[in-house]
Amino acid sequence: MIENKQETIVAGIRASGKLHIGNYLGALKDFVSLPNDKTKTCFFFIADLHALTTPFEPKVLKDTVLDVTATYLAAGLDINKCVFFPQSQVLEHTELAWIFNCLLPLGELERMTQYKDKILQHKESINAGLLTYPALMAADILIYKGQSVPVGDDQVQHVELARVAARKFNNRFGKTFFEPKTYMQKPLRIMSLSDPAKKMSKTGDEALLLDDSPEEISRKLKKAVTASEPGKKSAGVENLFLLLEHFGTEQEIAGFRDLQKNETLKFSELKETLANNISGYFAEFREKKKELLAKPDFLAEVLGDGAAKARTVAGETLLEVKQKIGLL
- Rounded CA separation 115/54 (Å): 11
- Rounded CA separation 19/212 (Å): 10
- Shortest Cβ distance from residue 261 to ligand TRP (Å)? 40
- Shortest Cβ distance from residue 153 to ligand TRP (Å)? 11
Of 154 and 263, CB closest to ligand TRP: 154
Of 87 and 273, CB closest to ligand TRP: 87
CA dihedral (295, 297, 300, 304) in degrees, to 10, reads -130
In the annotation, is 202 catalytic?
Answer: yes
Residue 155 sits in the site that holds ligand TRP (CB under 6 A) = yes
Of 160 and 247, CB closest to ligand TRP: 160
Instruction: Give 121-158 as a 3 state SS string.
Output: HCHHHCCHHHHHHHHHHHHHHHCCCCCEEEECHHHHHH
Residue 314 sits in the site that holds ligand TRP (CB under 6 A) = no
Q: Measuring CA to CA, how many Å separate 1 from each of 9, 77, 302, 308? A: 17, 19, 16, 10
CB count within 10 Å of CB 66 equals 17
Report the phi/psi class of residue 263: left, alpha or beta, with left for phi > 0 and alpha for psi in -120 to 50.
Answer: left
Residue 165 sits in the site that holds ligand TRP (CB under 6 A) = no
Q: Which of 77, 90, 97, 149 binds ligand TRP (CB under 6 A)?
A: 149
Catalytic annotation, pick one of 18, 81, 181, 202: 202
Of 12 and 306, CB closest to ligand TRP: 12
CB count within 10 Å of CB 10 equals 26
- Rounded CA separation 307/84 (Å): 7
- Rounded CA separation 3/83 (Å): 11
In the annotation, is 59 catalytic?
Answer: no
- Rounded CA separation 106/156 (Å): 19
Residue 12 sits in the site that holds ligand TRP (CB under 6 A) = yes
Count of residues that bind ligand TRP according to CB under 6 A: 12
- Shortest Cβ distance from residue 81 to ligand TRP (Å)? 19
Residue 309 sits in the site that holds ligand TRP (CB under 6 A) = no
Catalytic annotation, pick one of 40, 118, 181, 322: 118
Q: Which of 137, 142, 292, 313 binds ligand TRP (CB under 6 A)?
A: 137
Q: Which of 25, 151, 165, 275 binds ligand TRP (CB under 6 A)?
A: 151
Residue 96 sits in the site that holds ligand TRP (CB under 6 A) = no
Residue 191 sits in the site that holds ligand TRP (CB under 6 A) = no
Site track for ligand TRP across 37-66, x = CB under 6 A? ----------x--x----------------
Which residues, in sequence order, are bridge partners of residue 13?
46
DSSP state of 27: I
Q: Which residues bind ligand TRP (CB under 6 A)?
A: 10-12, 14, 47, 50, 137, 140-141, 149, 151, 155
Active site residues: 118, 199, 202
